[in-house]
Amino acid sequence: MGEEVLRVLEMDEESGFKIDDTIGFTDEACRRVRILLQEVHLLLTAVQASWRRLQSALDMYHEVQGLESEMSDIGKWLVSAGQTLLKESRIGMNISEAESLLREHEAIELKCRETYARWARLRYRIDEAVERGEGELRALAHHETKTTDLRSLKEYTDTLVRSFASRLERRRTLILASARFHRIVRHLDQRCTVLLNEKRWIANSHNLDFLKKTIRELTARKEAVDYLGGEGTKAVSVCFYLKETASGTFEYGYECGRAALLVEKSASSSAG
């Protein structure tokens, strides 16, 4: 509208027609209109810039609200559905039950991995939104409270996720320990069953000859050991007897033959 008025005034000035006889009226009017137009342009530019900042702040605000809503959904799932999944306290009374619980737990972990992946993506978006929100939310009132709330909610949700993951891992460890324990028990039971089988200890035609041969060998070795032990005892007794009957020049030898030679030598020297 102002530009149209300025154009009409300039046309009147150029046409030579005057609205009245006031000298310089048209020039002054044009100058004032130009000044007003410049002020209007500056004001319009400021309004447009403010509008863009406000629009950006509103977009950021809606983004923050969306992030808060997503975090709230994750937190509710962890507190409600997630806790329901972990309320099971059984670890299995036998190997089949323990393995069944382990399969169920792996299915729960698969669901939780989706939540973990969603939270990981959300954390990245939250960090980015907090950095941008410091500047973009300044156009709104209480923007500092908004970003602070976003950080606090992120830390709270992060704590929930870590606590849930820790509990989930502990339950997996318990079920695995139960399954391994029952496998060991089953293995020991099988071994004990074999050992306690009466037929295992009954001789048969396949191993009877081998057992007889082994028993004969063991008996012969035992008799040899007993004989050597008896001979060793006799040798020690002879050595001590010779020591007592010798004239004092007896030298202890490791062989009884050597001991006898030493005694004879001592006796001959005494006779000489």
Ranking 11-25, 90-104, 192-206 by mean pLDDT, the lowest is 11-25
- 107 in helix, strand or coil? helix
Q: What is the DSSP letter of 203?
A: -
pLDDT band at 272 (very low <50, low <70, confident <90, very high): very low
pLDDT of 240 higher than 80: no
pLDDT band at 11 (very low <50, low <70, confident <90, very high): low
Quick one: angle between helices 143-195 and 95-136, nearest 10?
Answer: 170
Question: How far apart are the C-alpha atoms of 262 and 272, rounded to whole Å?
Answer: 16
Q: Are 132 and 143 in contact (CB under 8 A)?
A: no
What is the residue-averaged pLDDT of the chain?
74
Q: Are 145 and 132 in contact (CB under 8 A)?
A: no
Q: If one looks up domain 58-195 in CATH, what number appears?
A: 1.20.58.60
Question: How far apart are the C-alpha atoms of 90 and 93, rounded to whole Å?
Answer: 8
Structural domain boundaries of the chain? 58-195, 208-271
Distances (CA, A) of 213 to 124, 204, 206, 223, 226: 79, 14, 13, 15, 20
Q: What is the pLDDT of residue 61?
A: 79
Question: How far apart are the C-alpha atoms of 114 and 189, rounded to whole Å?
Answer: 41
How many Å is the Cα radius of gyration of the chain? Answer: 54
Q: Give the E-state strand segments of the chain in sequence order.
A: none
What is the tens place of the pLDDT at every residue in 33-81?
A: 677 778 878 888 888 887 887 787 777 778 888 888 888 888 888 888 7
Q: What is the pLDDT of residue 193?
A: 80
pLDDT of 252 higher than 50: no
Burial call 160-172: b when 16+ CB within 10 Å, e when fewer = bbeebbeebeebe
Q: What is the DSSP letter of 1?
A: -
For the chain, what percent of residues have pLDDT higher than 70?
A: 64
Tokens (6 digits) for 271: 């006779």
Question: How far apart are the C-alpha atoms of 177 and 162, rounded to whole Å?
Answer: 23
pLDDT of 234 higher than 50: yes
**How many other β-carbons are positioned within 10 Å of the β-carbon of residue 253?**
14
Quick one: angle between helices 25-79 and 2-15, nearest 10?
Answer: 160
pLDDT of 238 higher than 70: no
Q: What is the pLDDT of residue 12?
A: 52
- 91 in helix, strand or coil? coil
pLDDT band at 253 (very low <50, low <70, confident <90, very high): very low
